[in-house]
Amino acid sequence: MATTATAFGIENALEKLGVKKHNQGTSTGNNWFGDGEVIESYTPVNGNLIGTVTTTTREDYDKVITTAQDAFLKWRAVPAPVRGEIVRQFGNKLRELKEPLGQLVSYEMGKSLQEGYGEVQEMIDICDFAVGLSRQLTGLTIPSERPGHVMREQWHPLGIVGIISAFNFPVAVWSWNTALAWVCGDVTVWKASEKAPLCSIACQNIIAEVLKDNNMPEGISCIINGDYRVGEMLTTDKRVPLISATGSIRMGRIVGTAVAQRLGKSLLELGGNNAIIITPTADLKVVVPGAVFGAVGTAGQRCTSTRRLIIHESVYDKVKDAIVGAYKQIRIGNPLDENNHVGPLIDKDAVEMYLSAIEKAKQEGGNVIVEGGVLEGEGYESGCYVKPAIIEVENHYEIVQNETFAPILYLIKYSGDVENAIALQNGVVQGLSSAIMTNDIKEAERFLCFAGSDCGIANVNIGTSGAEIGGAFGGEKETGGGRESGSDAWKAYMRRQTNTVNYSDELPLAQGIKFDL
């Protein structure tokens, strides 16, 4: 059975990260405070209590926002390349602490140790990206119709960026936002998931040390902790011009409505219901690892997890047999044991949701070809380990139309040409990630054209999961429309300003209007 987590030095990792058994959960940098209610963080690995974090009270919250406002006035005046240097140093600290932070991510959230290390690598990568970006926050020079005039576009920092992150990527999504926001001249206030609060303590300790070493003001990086009530403090606060929120569609509707009511800006990264289309020319050597990792990686708890395989009828049985055969090789157990592929779900509520989804699929007519279920016995004492399931379904089933955050893979058969498969893929309310497996260039291009995939991410011959930071990450439809990470996602963290300069001795008006005095 899997080796116990303590054998991997979790206590040592916590010590290196400055995470205590009992932690104050509110911080403006090196200043920690708060005596609110207590969140207990239990690991789904073995059910043990890792530590506790105090929640943020209204008084604590107002202190954070006031400190962040003061910090913004100073931080925005720091040259962007100098802000980039701070982010560079943060990235280097992450390199030094990649092992203990990756272990904490794996232990508190339950993802495999390789994925825990990968998540910290994402943080390092976005820091590298942001450092280069700090010298490229450029606007346009625009031709003016008026003689002796020039038009320019400038970008200015917004102020405080509020970040609400989910449990499944307890550190990476925060870093996507903060690294960009910081080089843009913003300050950040982070409400981490109450299911993984210790990760926020660790990250704050790391950046706080960097900021202190560089004599930067308190308030550039702040954290608050608690449940939805603490999140509401952020979403309803006019002092926070941008809210970046990652979570369910249900949560996104609440956040988007609250922010819109005060005419603030929101960046929403919500649910996915991601499909891989498998055409007759697809290469099984690519299909199988892409589909299996997409379906069972992070125990199916990624927003980009593969939920549906849409397979052409001519290769359906061959693909099904190959996927089922691969599932027999999946090793489930302690995620800190690198021999295991799949760890636990985050908690027992997630297990109940998983079981309910399987039962619902059966009731609607689904045919279970790889049985699910909860694992019991030595090494599975937390009650959060489940078996990845495969079910044959129709795309219109209600359960298939909704995202279940668990390792359940639905197989759907299509006939005819690739347009039929694309219609099935697009036939859900979510629009995050999509993929096609094909060696037919015409099919690939039809999938990528304006009438093809309606998702924010569309891949050819790779799976739906595992995006790189260089591209803008996000989805359409009820996924929320937000974009984070690479490309020009930085523009969400700034305000655009158009400047017109008259360097002539006259005052001609636009559109040829005459106004003679």
Structure tokens at 495: 């305000």
What is the distance between the alpha carbons of residues 285 and 70, in angstroms, rounded to a whole number? 56
Letter string b/e over residues 157-171, b meaning 16 or more CB atoms within 10 A of that residue's CB = bbbbbbbbbbbbbbb
Q: Are 385 and 374 in contact (CB under 8 A)?
A: yes
Q: Are 251 and 227 in contact (CB under 8 A)?
A: no
Longest dimension (CA), the chain: 91
Contacts of 165 (CB under 8 A, 6+ apart): 173, 174, 190, 191, 192, 193, 246
Which helix H or strand E contains 127, and what residues bound it? Answer: helix 113-133
Q: Return the residue matching tokens 């690892």.
A: 289
305 three-state secondary structure: coil
Do the bridges between strand 306-312 and strand 274-278 make them parallel or antiparallel, or are there none, so unpaired? Answer: parallel
- Nearest residue to 431 via CA among 396, 480, 483: 480
Chain mean position to CA 464: 14
11 three-state secondary structure: helix
Q: Are 110 and 344 in contact (CB under 8 A)?
A: yes
Active site residues: 269, 303
Structure tokens at 407: 């390792």
- Amino acid identity for residue 75 in this structure: W
What is the distance between the alpha carbons of residues 452 and 433, in angstroms, rounded to a whole number? 13
Backbone φ and ψ for 337, nearest 5 degrees, come out as: -90, 115
Using alpha carbons, list the distances in angstroms from residue 43 to 54, 69, 111, 279. 17, 35, 11, 41
Q: What burial class does residue 115 get, using C-beta atoms within 10 Å of its C-beta: 0-12 exposed, 13-18 middle, 19+ buried?
A: buried
Map 144-156 to HEC letters: CCCCCEEEEEEEE
Chain mean position to CA 145: 44
Map 416-461 to HEC letters: CCHHHHHHHHHCCCEECEEEEECCCHHHHHHHHCCCCCCCCEEEEC
Map 24-91 to HEC letters: CCEECCCCEECCCCEEEEECCCCCCEEEEEECCCHHHHHHHHHHHHHHHHHHCCCCHHHHHHHHHHHH
